[in-house]
A and B are shown apart, each in its own frame.
Chain A
Amino acid sequence: MFEPALSVLLQTQVPNVHEFRITNIFKPLASPAAAERTAAYLVLAITAVIFVVVAGLICYTIVRFRRRPGDNELQEPPQVYGSNQIEAAWTVIPILIVFVLIGVSARVIAAIQNASPPPQSVKILLVGHQWWWEVRYPDYGLVTANEIHVPVSSDGKHATYLQLTSADVIHSFWVPQLAGKTDLIPNRINYTWIDPRQPGVYVGNCAEYCGTQHANMLLRVIAESSEEFNAWMSAQRKPANNSDTQLSAAQTVFGSLSCVNCHMIRGTSAIGAFGPDLTHLMSRQTLGAGVLVNNTENLRAWVNDPQIPKPGCLMPSMKLTGPELNQVISYLQSLK
């Protein structure tokens, strides 16, 4: 009910692509999340029954044995010290329930963790940074950021396998409708996999506190058909388009600024590795790891002072002059 008044900042609906913004863990759209939901439903059912029975007993006891005005205050109720049979009963029944739950957990854990990648699966190396995601496709030699494109796996046979690690502190990969969490830990490689069943944009968050801008370390998984994925991949693998002579002045300005120390734009002198690769910046839906929709106005606001939309982020305000800012924006907008 507060949405209309407050949802000014983020209207990230992309035409023709369904965006799954309500990240309900009970509406899974990939195998790991679906297996987790199955286990969850079973646990919820069992615990709901336990809650109703035990809470009912407590309620009954409270109502039935409350002190009433007519009670004889001097008469103590019968002093009952315990009963071994009753103790045995309420020890054995929980033990049986626990064994069922252990069995279910073991099966689902093995099903998710011990799945082996099919030969045609896409492999991704996801590297966490404060506070953005570096997405590497080693088989394709591609590096991008914050938005993970994967082929849709409507038959369940085109899973994407992710190797997870971190460049600085611990982060955690969590796209609730695709898979539960797996941490990105420095000096360590973790694994997880996803097989989105429907095309669309799946929203996720970093789920391990990682410093100042943990809240705005958002993640998008974009699942698309094999053809679309391949088309996207071949477009992304091309270096930046530098042929436009009208932009050579803008490119020169950009190259003269310290942007190039942190950002990579393939095919130019910008070979920084600290920040996200910008080679095809305009093909992305968001800026600043999901904090702003990628449009001219927001791009300008971001480059002018990233500390306003994302205070504390590691990109400083570059204090560009007006003309410099115009040149940089027009150059960045050419990075399609």
Chain B
Amino acid sequence: MAAIDYPLQRPKAEPGEFSFSETLYKWVATVDHKRLGLMYVASALIFLIVAGIMATVMRVQLMFPNGHVVGPDTFNRLFTMHGTSMVFLVGMPMVAGFANYLVPLMIGARDMAFPRLNSFGFWIFLLGGLLLYYSYLGGGGLSGDGSAPDVGWFAYAPLTERGFSRGHSSDYWALGVLVSGFGSIASAINVIATTFCMRCPGMTLKRMPMFVWVMLIDSWLIVVALPPLSAAQVMLLLDRYLGANFFNTQNGGSAVLWQHYFWIFGHPEVYILIFPAFAILSEVIPIFSRKPLFGRPAMVAAVVAIGFISLGVWAHHMFAVGMTSWSNTFFAASSMLVGIPTGIKIFNWTATMYGGRLRFTTALLFCCGFLFQFLLAGLTGIMLAVAPFDWQLHDSYFVVAHFHFTLVGGLVFGLFAGMYYWFPKAIGKMLDETLGKWHFWLFCIGFNLTFIPLHFAGMLGMPRRIYTYAPGRGWELWNFVATIGVFFQIAGILFFIYNVLRSTLRGQPATDDPWDGWTLEWATSSPPPEYNFEKLPVVRSSRPLWDLKHPQDPDWKWE
């Protein structure tokens, strides 16, 4: 008996040619989860390039002491826009993009639960991003004070209050982030509803692909964690326009209150950002190791545990604000607890590779880069959780190095792995592996060259967010090397852009299942038709295509 009931004739993508305006209309008016997913990823990549250029300017400024490439105001706007863009306009749409594209395909659904909400989410996110960048033109307001926001991505009060932030720059920051947050919440609600209501016959929660599990938890975290930020943005706007004085210390408000609001969102946020990488690794590593994910139940439990614990660690960003020794001890302890489930994840990925037959495609190379870098990021995270050590490291370049190791060395490496892995499915062409390996090695070397030295600069007392520094404090060498690394990273990214363009236009056509995959997205054509599956599949295990390909040894026998 066949383990699974599949449409044997795959649906063909619809033929026909369209004029430019018809094509444009089809993309703008679409409610198809795959198109929206691609649009999310594409706009995130554009913001990634813009914010990456900003980072380059900052690194060039800091390459030598007393740098004069940009002035203090420009520099402060650069790091504010870089951080805000990377978190809200690159990380968040990447979450939404990957989830949108893959969740319905992986659970055998025809679309998301709420296609129009999905479309709303994308366009309002884009509006938020454009609002933020419009500040370069409109931030001055009538008085001509200011331009883009210059308050840092966590915009600590009272620096954002009227007394210290004239013009409209902080308004654009608050509105842009608030509006793009609506998009993220909409998309998260959609993912939750889709995974709970739209799974194909036979796909119990136990059989759901790990990618979908992680995205589900991620979406729950977004729904729980983003509203405090939205509330704080509204309170800030009330402060600025209606004299509410929540955070306005000049009138008795509390500066620490903003930090609590921000970080009760902000810490879960970093897990929201890293979870997609967890999700991608949990699919890519098994395929290229030719083994199922080791310890699946433990992996699910670890993600759920990280989700819960992450809601109770926010004040480790605030060890220096003068909390009581009891509070500091509590948040040090809860922060260290996160290390346990995170460790379980790294161990299980390694165990998945152990005993396998590793095929080092570009996607798996990026996963391996992730494992080493995320390990280091986790360990520096433990150092930061030890509050006395954090009193020294907090707000220094060590912290900058730490979170770039999680978000670039972790998230971005995971995203690249995902792009190399799913590009054939989404576009129907293979990405070139030789160019991919150039991309990987240049980016990996450049990344480590940039961010390893910054740990040492931080331990030598270099605070973050300084636009210049005097010579003679032992920071010159580390900053110089860090900037050299940036050029390697740029070269790597150029290889990636070239690879994507070249492969899209005249790459080798992809088969429906180029990697010998096990999850349902590989059971439909590449790229999938609008309705995904002609006939809804029925599954009996967590690896339905394995069952189909190995009728003598199907997974469901072991469930």
Contacts and interface: CB of A to CB of B under 8 A. Distances in A.
Interface of A: 1-3, 6-7, 9-10, 21-26, 32-33, 35-36, 39-40, 43-44, 47, 50-51, 54-55, 57-58, 61-62, 65-67, 71, 76-83, 86-87, 90-91, 94-95, 98, 101-102, 104-106, 108-110, 112-114, 130, 164, 168-170, 172, 174, 176, 179-183, 185-188, 190-191, 203-216, 311-312
B386 interface: yes
B336 A102 contact: yes
Contacts of B509: none
Contacts of A205: 461, 463, 466
Contacts of B329: 102, 105-106, 109-110
B461 A176 contact: yes
B56 interface: no
B355 A67 contact: no
A147 B432 CA distance: 60
Given A79-B291, A109-B332, A65 B357 contact: yes
- Which are the 5 A-B pairs with shortest beta-carbon distances? A180-B391, A23-B461, A215-B466, A190-B322, A82-B295
B66 A82 contact: no
A295 B368 CA distance: 56
A109 B388 contact: yes
Contact of B339 (A7, A98, A213): A98
25 contacts: A2-B476, A7-B470, A39-B389, A40-B383, A40-B386, A40-B392, A47-B379, A47-B383, A50-B379, A57-B350, A78-B355, A82-B348, A86-B295, A87-B344, A94-B343, A101-B382, A105-B336, A108-B388, A110-B329, A174-B461, A185-B322, A186-B249, A207-B394, A207-B395, A214-B465
Contact of B292 (A67, A79, A112): A79
A104 B386 contact: yes
Given A105-B385, A312-B73, 10 more contacts: A61-B354, A79-B292, A82-B294, A94-B344, A106-B333, A170-B158, A181-B320, A181-B394, A185-B249, A211-B164
Interface of B: 64-66, 71-73, 76, 150-152, 156, 158-159, 163-164, 249-250, 252-256, 289-292, 294-298, 320-322, 324-325, 328-329, 332-333, 336-337, 339-340, 343-344, 346-348, 350-351, 353-360, 368, 371-372, 375-376, 379-380, 382-383, 385-396, 459-461, 463-474, 476-477, 480, 550, 553, 555, 558
Interface centre among A9, A21, A105 (most CB of B within 10 A): A105
Contacts of A191: 322
A24 B474 contact: yes
Contacts of A203: 461, 473
A83 B295 contact: yes
Contact of A61 (B340, B350, B466): B350
A320 to B, nearest CB: 24
A109 B375 contact: no
A131 B249 CA distance: 18
A36 B332 CA distance: 14
A65 B252 contact: no
Contact of B156 (A21, A164, A170): A170
Contacts of B65: 2, 6-7
A6 B388 contact: no
B254 to A, nearest CB: 7
Interface of chain A: mostly helix, strand, loop or mixed: mixed
Contact of B321 (A10, A36, A90, A185): A185
Interface centre among A24, A57, A58, A172 (most CB of B within 10 A): A58
A35 B391 CA distance: 11
B350 A39 contact: no
Contacts of B295: 81-83, 86-87
A169 B343 contact: no
Contacts of A206: 463
Contact of A212 (B73, B156, B471): B73
A2 B459 CA distance: 20
A24 B396 CA distance: 12
A76 B388 CA distance: 50
Contacts of A54: 346-347, 350, 375
B320 A172 contact: yes
Contacts of A186: 158, 249-250, 255
Given A87-B344, A215-B467, A2 B64 contact: yes
A65 B356 contact: yes
A290 to B, nearest CB: 8
Nearest to A86: B351
Contact of B476 (A3, A190, A214): A3
A114 B326 CA distance: 10
A81 B350 contact: no
Contact of A105 (B348, B388, B553): B388
A25 B459 contact: yes
Nearest to A4: B471
Contact of A7 (B359, B463, B472): B472
B340 A91 contact: yes
A62 B353 contact: yes
Given A2-B476, A22-B460, A105-B333, A80 B291 contact: yes
Contacts of A26: 459
Nearest to B294: A82
A11 to B, nearest CB: 8
Contacts of B382: 43, 47, 101
Nearest to A11: B472
Contacts of B254: 187
Contacts of B255: 169-170, 185-188
B476 A180 contact: no
A101 B296 contact: no
A311 B368 CA distance: 46
Nearest to B253: A187
A90 B347 contact: yes
A289 to B, nearest CB: 12
Contacts of A102: 329, 332-333, 336
Contacts of B249: 185-187
A166 B66 CA distance: 28
A14 B467 CA distance: 26
